[in-house]
Amino acid sequence: MKKLYAVVAMLAITFGQIGLSHARTSQHGKPQAESVAGVFDYYLLTLSWSPTFCLTHKDDSQCSGKGYGFVLHGLWPQYANGGWPESCPPKVALSPAEQKRGLTLFPTPKLLEHEWAKHGTCSGLGATGYLDAADKAVGAVKIPEKLQPFSGTVYLPAQKIAELFRESNPGIPTDGIAVICSGPELSEVRVCMGKDLQFGACGKGVKTQCRAGDIRVPPSR
């Protein structure tokens, strides 16, 4: 009888540990691997429509009447199955020369520093290599004529905006671009690129996020 009690007790402990382990997994989801520089599948080039950003950030230096249209938000390493690495070690600050170079690409020092720390460090290219890649990526995308800076508000469906980009850049596949909105306004256009910076399909989770029908494209400021 004592042996039976011992077996029952052992089973209870074992199943309790399994249940606890399952509860932890269910609560926290799939464990995230540590972000490692250079370990990713493709890039997401993100172009921000500056006039929309300036609607809510009027004191930002890019909003001081410079007349920007699309500006570089970032070049983000991504995983094909969804998600992305971020803030990869070693976390090294930009040198003055790298900051000067970066400001020829990004509209503000604050954005440059943020993008390098969060995303650029995960490229595995070092600061100079990452900035060169961002420059090449931006240069590879031709902004549609209808979406160059303009003085009056434009209304277009998100699908049309994606079509305009594909017409100006025939290499972008149908599943290689996403249009992002902030409420009723155009916020960003995201273009997927391989590590070789050639246009390609987007990974899991990258898709257009806008309401149906026309969206508002604010004029340049």
DSSP string, 11-56: HHHHHHHHHHHHHHHHHH-SPPPPP-TT--SEEEEEEEEHHHHHHH
Q: Do 52 and 159 belong to one domain?
A: yes
Q: Do 95 and 193 belong to one domain?
A: yes
In a domain, 191, yes or no: yes
Q: What is the pLDDT along the chain (221 residues), one digit of tens a residue?
A: 444 344 334 444 443 443 433 333 333 333 346 899 999 999 999 999 999 999 999 999 999 888 999 999 999 999 999 999 999 999 999 999 999 999 999 999 999 999 999 999 999 999 999 999 999 999 999 999 999 998 899 999 999 999 999 999 999 999 999 999 999 999 999 999 999 999 999 999 999 999 999 999 999 87
In a domain, 79, yes or no: yes
Q: Do 194 and 111 belong to one domain?
A: yes
In a domain, 37, yes or no: no
In a domain, 187, yes or no: yes
Give the Cα separation of 51 and 63 in Å (integer): 8
- The count of structural domains within the chain is 2
Length of the chain: 221
Q: Do 3 and 69 belong to one domain?
A: no
pTM, whole model, 2 decimals?
A: 0.84
Q: Do 105 and 11 belong to one domain?
A: no
What CATH number corresponds to the domain at position 202? 3.90.730.10
Q: Do 118 and 180 belong to one domain?
A: yes
97 residue type, one letter: A
What pLDDT does residue 34 have?
85
What pLDDT does residue 88 have?
97
What pLDDT does residue 17 have?
43
Q: Do 25 and 116 belong to one domain?
A: no
Is there a cis peptide before residue 96, judged by omega within 30 degrees of 0?
no
DSSP states of 149-189: --SS-EEEEHHHHHHHHHHH-TTS-GGGEEEEEETTEEEEE
In a domain, 36, yes or no: no
Residue in this structure with the two tokens 């961002």, named with its chain if needed:
134
Contact (Cβ atoms closer than 8 angstroms) between residue 218 and residue 51: yes
Q: Do 27 and 50 belong to one domain?
A: no
Task: Report in angstroms the alpha-carbon separations of 184 from 74, 81, 101, 120, 207.
Answer: 22, 29, 34, 30, 17
What pLDDT does residue 86 have?
97
What pLDDT does residue 198 have?
98
Q: Do 114 and 16 belong to one domain?
A: no
What pLDDT does residue 183 have?
96
Find all residues with CB under 8 Å of 174, minimum gap 6, and list them. 166
- Active-site positions read 73, 115, 119
Q: Do 122 and 187 belong to one domain?
A: yes
What pLDDT does residue 33 have?
62
What pLDDT does residue 66 have?
86
Q: Do 12 and 79 belong to one domain?
A: no
Q: Do 111 and 177 belong to one domain?
A: yes
Nearest to 77 by CA among 205, 208, 194: 194
Q: Domain limits at 118?
A: 42-217
Tokens matching residue 182: 């902030």
What pLDDT does residue 221 have?
76
In a domain, 94, yes or no: yes
81 residue type, one letter: N
Phi, then psi, of 128 in degrees rounded to 5:
-65, -45
3-state secondary structure of 78: strand
In a domain, 145, yes or no: yes
In a domain, 149, yes or no: yes
